[in-house]
Amino acid sequence: MKWKRLLQLTILSAATIVVASCQHEQAVTIKQLVRDHAAHSDNMLLNDKGDTLYVANMDINTVSILDAKTKKVQAEVSVGKEPRQLALSPDDQYVYVSCLYDNQVDVISTKEKKVVDSIEVGIQPYGLVTSQNGDTLYVANYQSGTLSIIDTDERKEKKELKIGDRPRTVTITKDGKKLYVPHYLDGDISVIDTEKEKVTKTIKLAASPDQPDRKKSQGVPNTVEQFVISPDGKKAFVPHLLTNIDTPINFEETIFPAVSVIDLEKDEEIIDERKELFDEINIRDVKNENMIVSNPYDVAFQPDGSKAYVVMSGSEDLVVFDLTRGGNATQILRRIKGDNPRGIAISKDGQTLFVHNAMSHDLATIQTGGDSPYARVKMTGEPVKLIKKDPLPKDVREGKTIFYSANSDEFAASITGNNWMSCASCHADGDMNRLTLMTPKGPRNIPSNVVTTETGLFLWDGTRNEFADYIHTVQGEMGGMTELDPAKPMPEDVQHMYDLIFAFLQDPNSFPPPQSPYRQKDGRLTDTASQGEQLFNGKGNCLSCHGGEFFTDSPKAVNEEGKLTELNTNFLHDIGTGNKLDVPSKGDARGQYQNPRDGKKFDTPTLRGVWATAPYFHDGSAETIEEAIERHGNDSIPKLSKGEVTAIAEYVKSIE
């Protein structure tokens, strides 16, 4: 295998020798292929020649290679689990693929159209980009909080740089001197000097200030999906969400889309240029109402820099910003054909936009109409299928499509009012988002969906026993299905929607608990964690509540027929974690409200993958696992020494 790679490399460098020959003289120059523009990691890339598109089919575990002119799929290459983003080598010879759930980067040879190598990286690799001469590959490891710096000749990691919580996508400047790595959940952006291989600055996206009118855009930045540099290299557009955490959770008052603009000379946000609903995004529909868009995901610029196109993955729209005239949105193309648009690329002539739909696995084409400020974008033709076969069961695919959708017109009943938000607007990509929202019962930490269907009752206070109870979330927080009376039996087609989402949440491939970095390389527990395991199972008394395969006693809350019921409160526990803002409630079973809660007792949370879901407790008040353990009161656990807590914590952090 090794010699074969060496051979490939030799051929590669031979190919870069340009031989100019005329009748009498011969000149040989060695031309190094160096990229002459900024580049960002994405789920879809167009190569520099503009003739080939590469698309990561995230849950199909393939990469499609298409002819950009004919839009014919030339190959669908099998890769590792959950390919999320792609990077091209500057010479177009290789496509690097981050395989999120395999903790590796696959290397596709564009000539051979197959994987020729795999590179081991950190936990859950996401964004990746090559250096401008191609000798280095940078990979952001989402769960490790690191950047792998990889020698592309050796295909080996040279260095793993700590850069902070949940780095997501990666972008390199035209001169190759800087990398930008947004952190998904907190809106920080690390600026990395590629020569020093060090973080030199952190750009903090600003919070949008509170407004007297809560229905106006406001909140803290999170769910940062992209960082795309404008053609002149001076600015970057960063699509993300704003979450209003200091007012009670309410439809139209909690989640807002935004696109922030970064000045790349000063490496600061240009706060005045942030694009928000009702201000810079203020387009009215035929009924003269503001058009709401949601879950901004990716950006493409007109090659002359005159416009920016942003895909809204939730509401499935394209928003056009005119950068020559103030930078406001001038058009919203409602409903790109296909489901869940997450990627956008523009042809070299600036005429055609390619849009990657992540749930329907197809490619939509939109004509830009050119550079003129009066040009209008237009959908052309039907989307082209990117994959041969969707291996996901049909109900899982449909449920997943609903989970990520904020399209109010698409399903049996609207999942959200007015295209406002998707489940993923709070459960960032299905996970927690580190935020705690205020609810009528008190503050509630947004949980991750890892093994959520296996852990007995739903919600921190265990007030839901069946998934259709989420109609309360859909009606109250998302403004959907408002025409239905939750006390009445649900219409069959609406019940079916909940069954579909449930099937998606239950599929083991949807949200596998992430590998724990607290284990040894071979997966075994460390010595400290082994001691902790004994304490956990013995003296610590943890098993009495966090027992079983899913580390919770909640599945025992059943009635005489053995069916899960939120009326059985024997498995809720008051461990002294009540918050002063928690209040007794009538609960929220569907219909007659008959599962009251005292505001002190909570459902035992699972500990699978818990190392990755700080902060802890129903109100997000414990920052670390150690703190969470130490705060178990009311004699739920015995007095433990510091050393015992450390050992138990090390074990808990190792649970996958």
* Contacts to ligand HEC by CB under 6 A: 249, 254, 403, 421, 423, 425-427, 437, 439, 444, 446-447, 449, 452, 455, 458-460, 470, 473-474, 477-478, 501, 536, 540-542, 544-546, 573, 575, 577, 602, 604-605, 607, 610, 613, 616-618, 625, 628-629, 632, 636-637, 648, 652
> How is residue 368 written in tokens?
């830009």
User: Which positions ≥6 away from 448 have C-beta within 8 Å?
Assistant: 427, 430, 431, 432, 511, 609, 612, 613
The runs of H, that is alpha helices, within 404-511 are: 471-476, 492-506
Least distance to ligand HEC, CB of residue 246, Å: 14
For residues 151 and 153, what is the distance between their CA atoms, to the nearest angstrom? Answer: 6
CB proximity list for 53: less than 8 A, separation 6 or greater: 44, 45, 46, 47, 64, 65, 66, 67, 68, 345, 354, 363
For the beta sheet containing 62-67, the strands, ordered from the edge strand earlier in sequence to the opposite edge, are 44-46, 52-57, 62-67, 73-78
Smallest gap from Cβ 617 to ligand HEC, in A, equals 4
Helix (H), strand (E) at residue 171: strand 171-172
Tell me how far, at minimum, the Cβ of 393 lies from ligand HEC, in Å.
18
Least CB distance from residue 157 to ligand HEC, whole Å?
A: 31
Q: Which of 265, 268, 247, 269 is nearest to 256 (CA)?
A: 247
CB nearer ligand HEC, residue 322 or residue 533: 533
Select from 276, 330, 325 the least CA-distant residue to 305: 325
Question: Among candidates 502, 430, 442, which has minimal Cα distance to 466?
Answer: 502
Nearer to ligand HEC, 202 or 636 (CB): 636
147 versus 505: smaller Cβ distance to ligand HEC: 505
**Residue 100 contacts by C-beta under 8 Å, 6 or more apart in sequence?**
58, 81, 82, 83, 84, 124, 125, 126, 142
Nearest distance from C-beta of residue 217 to ligand HEC, angstroms: 15
CA pair distance 295, 256, nearest whole angstrom: 8
Least separation, in Å, of the C-beta of 607 and ligand HEC? 6
The residue among 335 and 600 lying less far from ligand HEC, judged by its C-beta, is: 600
Shortest distance (Å) from residue 436 CB to ligand HEC: 8
Task: In angstroms, give the least distance from the CB of 397 to ligand HEC.
Answer: 15
In the block, which residue shows the tokens 């409630």?
Answer: 585
How far is 95 from 106, CA to CA, in rounded Å? 8
Query: Which residues, 6+ apart, have CB-to-CB distance to 384 below 8 Å?
Result: 66, 71, 73, 362, 363, 365
Shortest distance (Å) from residue 419 CB to ligand HEC: 13
The minimum distance between CB 557 and ligand HEC, in angstroms, equals: 12
Closer to ligand HEC at the Cβ: 191 or 481?
A: 481
Residue 610, classed as helix, strand or coil, is helix
Name the residue nearer to ligand HEC (CB basis): 138 or 411: 411
421 or 589, CB closer to ligand HEC? 421
CB nearer ligand HEC, residue 90 or residue 219: 219
Residue 536 host element (H or E):
helix 527-537
The smaller minimum CB distance to ligand HEC, of residues 138 and 504, is found at: 504
Residue (68 or 459) nearer to ligand HEC, CB: 459
Q: Residue 294 Cβ, how far from ligand HEC at the closest point, in Å? A: 10
Smallest gap from residue 320 Cβ to ligand HEC (A): 27
In whole angstroms, what is the distance from residue 362 CA to residue 341 CA? Answer: 9
Closer CB to ligand HEC, 58 or 468, in the complex: 468
- Amino acid at residue number 66: L
Assign 424 to helix, strand or coil.
Answer: helix
Nearest CA to 74 among 101, 98, 47? 47
- 148 with 141: CB under 8 angstroms? yes
Shortest separation between residue 43's beta carbon and ligand HEC, angstroms: 22
The DSSP code for 511 is S
Q: Which is nearer to ligand HEC, 155 or 590 (by Cβ)?
A: 590
Closest CB to ligand HEC among residues 458, 518:
458
Structure tokens at 223: 């769910």
Amino acid at 72: K
